[in-house]
Structure 1
Amino acid sequence: MNDQRSTRRRFVAGATAATAVALAGCAGGGDDDGGVPEAYRTATSIGGERRDPDGLSSKDAASYQDSPSGDRQCSNCRYYVEDRNDDGVGACTRVAGEIEPDAYCALYVRHDG
């Protein structure tokens, strides 16, 4: 009987650890910032927020879309980091990867500045 309980406990502990690791990946974190150029890695957004490559959401998690939603677009969001290398795209302090200025995501907060 003790052997069976021990096996169950090990299974539950293993399953709990595996779930925690999987959820950590969904929450952002890690150092996968979508391969942005170094100029964006810890850049400051138009709203004054500093980009933390370890605390970014994926584009999927943020519901990133390549087109604006009305007047809501990345170029007027407080988290947007403007183009720094003349390639027409920027970055975001909340979302990993290169960000199109006329894109949009669910994390949008209008920058009034």
Structure 2
Amino acid sequence: MDTLNSKKVSRRSFLKGAALLASIAVVPAIVASKEASAAAKATKAAMQYQDHPKGKLECSNCIQFIPGKNAKAKGTCKVVEGAISPQGYCIAYAPKG
């Protein structure tokens, strides 16, 4: 028992250790959440994706579209998996406000 009493832990050390343990527990939850959201994307077939516009409706004007490195480069979509053409279209189309 003398060895337990002789090692006093400062409040600062205790709080640092508690914060470290809490952050270690949170990191896997964040990673799992990102993987789940990526896995939740629909297939191109399910969204009836096509590489050409439907009239004036095209991915570059859609709120779900995430542009590529330039205006003509393929980007990604928040809803549809895979590379998406800026001139493409699918049934998840939602015009930018």
How big is the shift at 1:87? 7.3
Between structure 1 and structure 2, the one with the greater Rg is 2
Q: Which residue of 2 aligns with 1:91?
A: 76
**Structure 2: runs of 5+ lacking an equivalent:** 1-33
1:61 partner SS? coil
In angstroms, what is the RMSD of aligned CA positions?
2.0
**Structure 1: runs of 5+ lacking an equivalent:** 1-41, 43-51
Q: Which amino acid aligns with 2:55?
A: G
- Which residue, out of 63, 67, 72, partners 1:82? 67
Q: Which residue of 1 aligns with 2:56?
A: 71
Give the distance between the partners of 1:76 and 1:83, measured in 2 at CA.
14
Q: Which residue of 2 aligns with 1:31?
A: none
Higher helix share: 2
Give the distance between the partners of 2:50 and 2:76, measured in 1 at CA.
14
Q: Does 1:58 align with 2:43?
A: yes
How big is the shift at 1:97? 0.1
Q: Which amino acid aligns with 1:99?
A: I
1:75 partner SS? helix
How many equivalent residue pairs? 62
Q: Which amino acid aligns with 1:56?
A: K
How big is the shift at 1:69? 0.5
Tell whether the 8 Å contact from 2:71 to 2:86 is kept in structure 1 after alignment: no
Q: After the TM superposition, which segments of 4 or more aligned residues of structure 1 sit over 4 Å from their partners? A: none
How big is the shift at 1:70? 1.0
Give the distance between the partners of 2:70 and 2:55, measured in 1 at CA.
27
Give the distance between the partners of 2:47 and 2:93, measured in 1 at CA.
9
Q: Does 1:104 align with 2:89?
A: yes
- Identity level (%): 34
